[in-house]
Structure 1
């Protein structure tokens, strides 16, 4: 019996080691050969432009479409940047730190600690992806300070990433759902194709909520059972990571002019004004419609960030630390705006744009029933090369919605198909891991062995649900503003 037990343990270690080696090798390859995500966005511009030229669009028309579309996403670009900043500011506030300290006492063992992080990451991602990423990362650091449990720091770090790698696009901060619910954020050329699709038809569909529940259960279970324990676990100390608390607290003011920066009076007055507007907004409108407005959503979290950090100087310090995480959004989204216009505006002499050609292709290879699975696989593969939920939707929406209309697929479900599938490559793409890795003091290769395990299970589960649930929804024509 003892020999059989030792053999089983050896087999378990060998299987885990093999999977981790495969994932680590893939990450080393991507870190060596994959350039910055900006390069992929630039290559996408070139590929789409070449595609437009290949169908006969004049060179001048392609260039003009690129320039005309370049700045069309500026409102949405700023909205997404503010969303990331406000999420970070809330996550690093003193009250959030106190909550983390308290809830970090709840897990009773190393595996339950990892599963707990996974649940918190997924739950918070449904409200704000940036809060999920930063809050969960800081929670892992707090848990790593516990001396009564030997928690695997790598597995916990991977669990902290599950919100962004599994469910964020199905929550309130979904870039695609926010875009479709806010016509003022969409380029006019795209709005003419998709119309307005409210939250009630996307993230609040019962079928979408069911996908969230299933992914939550599956993700937490995998996080629990895949976490190494005992001598196989590697703690933060084993990895040489210092998990001492990051100090954002203020030093004493040194000059009279600092008084206003350190006084909560300014914060209180500004937040009071904001609270009046928020009360009016939610009392005069349907709350679901109110929160689906991206400006309202960002305003609520920004006011909350000011209040929780209390003093203006601390709030500004938190903002300054959050800004670097928005660099990719700021420089890449204009390229996506240019791509959207090339897809929809640079037409051949026949008047048919590239987006219509692509839509016809997917119509040809799909049916009403197979469309969700086909588009889900396509979106997941493309997501590894264009790691941006909002930017990639601008690229895909013209032909995804056109094909969905032709095949009479529920348009809100087409958005959900995109949301659920585009999150899958995040599990192994180092791009969105960077803010979390900075908090944890780890490298992508440290956690990707665990996130790759999640991907192996998630992919078939997600594609099956997207296909199976599509048959429960009826098609409705697009609603124009």
Structure 2
């Protein structure tokens, strides 16, 4: 048991600000769906101002409502596969071992912050579940941890570096010709991951943001005497269950469910496809959205070993996909209203009028971050923004691949105060978005100037490249 600090005033300025913001957000934060609904209303009002009728807007909204269903399913599978891998017995055992490392409340918050960001570079879906389970285990071992501070730390991957990693929605979409809307493809062609995620400029952003975020998480965590613990909030984490319910078949018809035979066959067949694709396209070009999900799915199968364990994990992951499935059609409808209202062309002219090759990256960053308050979706929002941002980049001769990365770095910023992507983590922790938002807002205050500076200064190192059409 750690000895408690005798004076709450020992907390530094950052810790006091974080504590105040956490108390404020507990009272005032709305649900994620409200943000998307407000965006529909806002775009509709803009379309009316530009001369569209209510009937026109309704037709545009409904006609495009289902356009992103394939992409929404791909996003849902990122959550499902991330959950499946994170809740497998080998990974869960790893989490338990990691949970023994931190010994102090502040150390625990910083520890979770680091691993949430490191995991998000592999998969944002995996990061949310991995962090949630890690938080539950740490709370059993370390006394005096503020559940709001550690919860916000577990969400940091989604608010900082996830879009700079392997599951970046925008980067994966632009590398996947089948996922790019035809109107967008005519502007940009395909953009390989080697031009976005796998660049030294991207690595610099990742390293800087991880150091910054972990430092703020450590400094802002309140002392043990001032912390609001999970127990104080009436949260009982108890024992985290794995997906395995029983270990052997009880009826002849269940034999294949509890045997690894089918798992090994499926993984073997899937491995042949992965090897073939990498051999023909190379490891970078092969990493598009479909193949990324496919590889994670095969890994999840293998880690769960039997079909029954795998299916149990999948069943538990489904509730976490609800927000994606219900809100992506709204984004598609917004895209339809936006494209047919003529606003896209006006936005291109607007950005051209206020931008130069030097200032365009930072203007894109500010705009993408602001729009992200209303459209909390990395991939869905990119579909809305990409046509006019990439068209403007072409006119200004700005590297289009770096525009994707500017978007990736800055669109994560509003995630820190938008509750949409908190949903899977909240489910694991048993908390509300308002519980996490205060410490996330504190991170946002520090992240904004650093991220905008990085996307601006690093843009100077990249020349303009014409689009590639496959």
Q: TM-score, normalised by structure 2?
A: 0.91
Q: Is the CA contact 1:189–1:341 (under 8 Å) kept in the aligned structure 2?
A: no
**Deviation string, structure 1 residues 229-288 (Cα, Å, up to 9, x no partner):** 332234433433222223232236453322222222221221121122222222333101
1:294 paired residue among 277, 289, 296: 289
Q: Is the CA contact 2:21–2:442 (under 8 Å) kept in the aligned structure 1?
A: no
The residue that corresponds to 1:309 in the other structure is 304
- Quote the RMSD (CA, aligned, Å): 2.5
| Pairwise CA distance, 1:52 | 4.4
The residue that corresponds to 1:110 in the other structure is 105
Instruction: Identify if the C-alpha distance between structure 1 residues 143 and 342 changes in structure 2 by more than 3 Å, giving closer, same or farther.
Output: same
- For 1:423 and 1:435, locate their aligned partners in 2 and report how far apart those are by CA, in whole Å: 17
1:441 paired residue among 409, 419, 430: 430
- For 1:22 and 1:151, locate their aligned partners in 2 and report how far apart those are by CA, in whole Å: 17
| Pairwise CA distance, 1:26 | 3.9
Instruction: Identify if the C-alpha distance between structure 1 residues 145 and 424 changes in structure 2 by more than 3 Å, giving closer, same or farther.
Output: same
- For 2:119 and 2:13, locate their aligned partners in 1 and report how far apart those are by CA, in whole Å: 35
Instruction: Identify if the C-alpha distance between structure 1 residues 464 and 451 changes in structure 2 by more than 3 Å, giving closer, same or farther.
Output: same
The residue that corresponds to 2:77 in the other structure is 82
The residue that corresponds to 1:350 in the other structure is none
Q: Is the CA contact 2:413–2:448 (under 8 Å) kept in the aligned structure 1?
A: yes
- For 1:296 and 1:339, locate their aligned partners in 2 and report how far apart those are by CA, in whole Å: 28
2:446 paired residue among 419, 441, 457: 457
2:457 paired residue among 439, 451, 468: 468
Unpaired stretches in structure 1, ≥5 consecutive residues: 348-352
The residue that corresponds to 1:167 in the other structure is 161
- For 2:331 and 2:85, locate their aligned partners in 1 and report how far apart those are by CA, in whole Å: 29
| Pairwise CA distance, 1:54 | 4.2
- Compare 107-116 and 356-365 and name the one that shifted more: 107-116
Aligned 1:137-176 pairs, distance under 5 A: 137-146=132-141, 150-176=144-170
Q: Is the CA contact 1:118–1:220 (under 8 Å) kept in the aligned structure 2?
A: yes
Q: Is the CA contact 1:343–1:398 (under 8 Å) kept in the aligned structure 2?
A: no
Instruction: Identify if the C-alpha distance between structure 1 residues 62 and 194 changes in structure 2 by more than 3 Å, giving closer, same or farther.
Output: farther
Q: Is the CA contact 1:72–1:187 (under 8 Å) kept in the aligned structure 2?
A: no
Q: Is the CA contact 1:24–1:448 (under 8 Å) kept in the aligned structure 2?
A: no
Q: What is the number of equivalent residue pairs in this alignment? A: 464
SS at match of 2:286: helix
The residue that corresponds to 1:22 in the other structure is 21
The residue that corresponds to 2:316 in the other structure is 321
1:358 paired residue among 337, 347, 350: 347
1:331 paired residue among 326, 331, 344: 326
Aligned 1:234-249 pairs, distance under 5 A: 234-247=228-241, 248-249=243-244
Aligned 1:176-195 pairs, distance under 5 A: 176-195=170-189
Aligned 1:359-398 pairs, distance under 5 A: 359-398=348-387
Instruction: Identify if the C-alpha distance between structure 1 residues 443 and 377 changes in structure 2 by more than 3 Å, giving closer, same or farther.
Output: same
The residue that corresponds to 1:233 in the other structure is 227
| Pairwise CA distance, 1:163 | 0.5
Q: TM-score, normalised by structure 1?
A: 0.89
- For 1:76 and 1:69, locate their aligned partners in 2 and report how far apart those are by CA, in whole Å: 13
Instruction: Identify if the C-alpha distance between structure 1 residues 99 and 36 changes in structure 2 by more than 3 Å, giving closer, same or farther.
Output: closer
Q: Is the CA contact 2:14–2:220 (under 8 Å) kept in the aligned structure 1?
A: no
- For 2:157 and 2:178, locate their aligned partners in 1 and report how far apart those are by CA, in whole Å: 28
Instruction: Identify if the C-alpha distance between structure 1 residues 159 and 58 changes in structure 2 by more than 3 Å, giving closer, same or farther.
Output: closer
| Pairwise CA distance, 1:442 | 2.4
**Deviation string, structure 1 residues 449-476 (Cα, Å, up to 9, x no partner):** 2222211111111111112222222112
| Pairwise CA distance, 1:100 | 0.8
| Pairwise CA distance, 1:150 | 4.2
Unpaired stretches in structure 2, ≥5 consecutive residues: none
**Deviation string, structure 1 residues 203-247 (Cα, Å, up to 9, x no partner):** 222212211110011011111222223322344334332222232
- For 2:301 and 2:133, locate their aligned partners in 1 and report how far apart those are by CA, in whole Å: 19
- For 1:95 and 1:420, locate their aligned partners in 2 and report how far apart those are by CA, in whole Å: 32
| Pairwise CA distance, 1:24 | 3.1
- For 1:64 and 1:333, locate their aligned partners in 2 and report how far apart those are by CA, in whole Å: 18
Q: Is the CA contact 2:323–2:420 (under 8 Å) kept in the aligned structure 1?
A: no
SS at match of 1:433: helix
Residue 222 of structure 2 is aligned to residue 223 of structure 1: no
Instruction: Identify if the C-alpha distance between structure 1 residues 10 and 296 changes in structure 2 by more than 3 Å, giving closer, same or farther.
Output: same
The residue that corresponds to 1:41 in the other structure is 36
Q: Is the CA contact 1:140–1:160 (under 8 Å) kept in the aligned structure 2?
A: yes
Instruction: Identify if the C-alpha distance between structure 1 residues 197 and 262 changes in structure 2 by more than 3 Å, giving closer, same or farther.
Output: same
- For 1:61 and 1:72, locate their aligned partners in 2 and report how far apart those are by CA, in whole Å: 18
